[in-house]
């Protein structure tokens, strides 16, 4: 009988867009893979891809302890029903509550600390509670993966995890076959693109303010935004605010798309002025893999994708002036220099962030608990 792996996230969208290649690789390696997340429009896509799916009630942004206790009990009932051999957790609440249940039921767990969001930006009572819960939940984890060395250092220095059971991944990795250089139609307009959930901490306000400065000086520029609006997040940008910016003419809002690769292909430069506590932003990896120059903040996770002056520029977090300065530096480049930056982006991703590296790490850990170690390369061919 095949061993069962449950992969858990706070939204089905995350599993479908960020973990599907890993799930396929695990299935190809002979495991029965089960997806667990709150039901959304992407849940059916996971089912259509041939995976068993179970919905769970989980408020990813709420801090109501009674809701979290209910979620924990749901995990308990589900794990008792499914009897998984391994669980792979993503996002904060599965990492905490599913891990606590796995600890009680003696289920092997592989956790992925994929950024800490707004939780660790301001130190306070909620952050202290979160640290306590992380320490309790990660104590018995068989492996804890971090997506950048800053988060690894934060957790190990604070004694929240056992350093010996930890490793650092190159983010979530990226499918370099899907996100690849594509021919861009010639245009005199230089197009900047920001891809993320529309929340303030992703630097949306700074991006809009910098766009105003640049558009006052240059007529051949366009600033676009792509991503979910009105998300369930305290820092969510409202549709009314976005409509006001669009009406002003400072930015174009492109909505959402399941063909992000095609949208990225239309850009000359991708900008993410985030001061969010990122893991390694997937959108930066996808954009760099698509041979796009990057402008992002010298911030946790973001800085890992950019070699300043080589494949893009790093700017100060929350500084509109510095962001506008870096955009002007890009505009001052020749077409040949921009193309070279894009080539450097693609080379960096291929060498350091290919998803095959991430998949190989997971299969290596799983193989260490199997009778015969799995050869990662054969699972991805």
Residues 152 and 290 in one domain: no
Residues 291 and 370 in one domain: no
Specify the pLDDT at position 193. Answer: 98
Residues 104-129 have pLDDT tens digits of 999 999 999 876 655 555 566 667 88
Residues 94 and 129 in one domain: yes
Specify the pLDDT at position 371. Answer: 55
Residues 17 and 138 in one domain: yes
332 pLDDT higher than 50 = yes
Residues 186-207 have pLDDT tens digits of 788 999 999 999 999 999 999 9
12: domain range? 4-173+354-379
Which whole number is the average pLDDT over 34-47? 96
Residues 57 and 145 in one domain: yes
Specify the pLDDT at position 122. Answer: 57
Residues 213 and 94 in one domain: no
How high is the mean pLDDT of the chain?
A: 90
Specify the pLDDT at position 375. Answer: 46
Residues 337 and 360 in one domain: no
Which whole number is the average pLDDT over 139-157? 89
- Answer whether residue 276 is part of any domain: yes
237 pLDDT higher than 70 = yes
Query: How many independent structural domains does the chain possess?
Result: 2
Long-range contacts, stretch 140-143, CB < 8 angstroms, 24+ apart: 140/99, 140/102, 140/103, 140/109, 141/99, 141/109, 141/110, 141/111, 141/165, 142/108, 142/109, 142/110, 142/365, 142/369, 143/109, 143/110, 143/111, 143/167, 143/365
- Answer whether residue 182 is part of any domain: no
**H or E segment to which residue 77 belongs:** helix 65-82
Residues 320 and 198 in one domain: yes
- Answer whether residue 179 is part of any domain: no
- Answer whether residue 180 is part of any domain: no
Token output for 150: 């800053």
Residues 96 and 16 in one domain: yes
- Answer whether residue 264 is part of any domain: yes
Specify the pLDDT at position 120. Answer: 57
197 or 63: which leads in pLDDT: 197
Residues 21 and 168 in one domain: yes
- Answer whether residue 292 is part of any domain: yes
CATH number, residue 208:
3.40.50.2000
170 pLDDT higher than 60 = yes
- 34 three-class SS: strand
Confidence of residue 373 (pLDDT cuts 50, 70, 90): very low
- Answer whether residue 178 is part of any domain: no
Q: Look-up: residue for tokens 């890992």?
A: 304
- Answer whether residue 295 is part of any domain: yes
Distance, in Å, from the CA atom of 313 to the CA atom of 294, rounded to the nearest integer, reads 6
Residues 242 and 316 in one domain: yes
Specify the pLDDT at position 294. Answer: 98
Beta bridge partners of 153: none
Residues 84 and 164 in one domain: yes
Q: Contact, 295 vs 193, CB < 8 A?
A: no
pTM summary value: 0.84
């Amino acid at each position: 009988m095949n061993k069962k792996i449950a992969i858990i996230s706070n939204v089905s969208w995350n599993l479908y867009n960020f973990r599907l290649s890993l799930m396929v690789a695990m299935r190809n390696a002979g495991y029965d893979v089960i997806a667990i997340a709150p039901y959304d429009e992407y849940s059916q896509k996971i089912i259509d891809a041939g995976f068993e799916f179970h919905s769970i009630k989980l408020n990813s942004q709420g801090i109501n302890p009674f809701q979290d206790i209910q979620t924990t009990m749901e995990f308990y009932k589900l794990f008792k029903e499914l009897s998984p051999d391994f669980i792979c957790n993503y996002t904060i609440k599965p990492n905490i509550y599913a891990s606590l249940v796995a600890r009680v039921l003696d289920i092997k767990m592989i956790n992925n600390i994929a950024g800490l969001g707004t939780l660790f930006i301001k130190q306070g009572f909620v952050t202290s509670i979160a640290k306590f819960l992380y320490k309790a939940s990660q104590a018995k984890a068989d492996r804890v993966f971090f997506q950048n060395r800053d988060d690894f250092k934060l957790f190990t220095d604070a004694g929240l995890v056992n350093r010996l059971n930890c490793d650092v991944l190159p983010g979530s990795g990226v499918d370099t076959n899907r996100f690849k250089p594509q021919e861009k139609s010639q245009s005199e307009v230089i197009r900047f693109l920001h891809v993320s959930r529309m929340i303030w901490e992703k630097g949306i306000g700074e991006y809009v303010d910098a766009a105003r400065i640049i558009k006052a000086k240059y007529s051949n520029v366009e600033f676009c935004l792509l991503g979910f609006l009105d998300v369930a997040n305290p820092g969510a940008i409202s549709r009314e605010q976005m409509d006001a910016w669009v009406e002003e003419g400072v930015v174009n809002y492109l909505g959402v798309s399941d063909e992000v690769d095609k949208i990225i292909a239309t850009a000359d430069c991708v900008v993410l002025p985030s001061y969010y506590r990122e893991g390694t932003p997937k959108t930066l990896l996808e954009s760099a893999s698509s041979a796009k120059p990057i402008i992002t903040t010298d911030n946790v996770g973001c800085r890992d994708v950019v070699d300043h002056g080589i494949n893009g520029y790093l700017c100060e977090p929350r500084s509109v002036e510095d962001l506008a300065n870096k955009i002007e530096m890009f505009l001052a480049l020749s077409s040949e220099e921009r193309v070279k930056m894009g080539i450097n982006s693609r080379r960096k991703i291929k060498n350091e962030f290919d998803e095959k590296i991430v998949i190989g790490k997971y299969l290596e850990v799983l193989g260490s608990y199997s009778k015969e170690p799995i050869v990662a390369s054969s699972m991805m061919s």
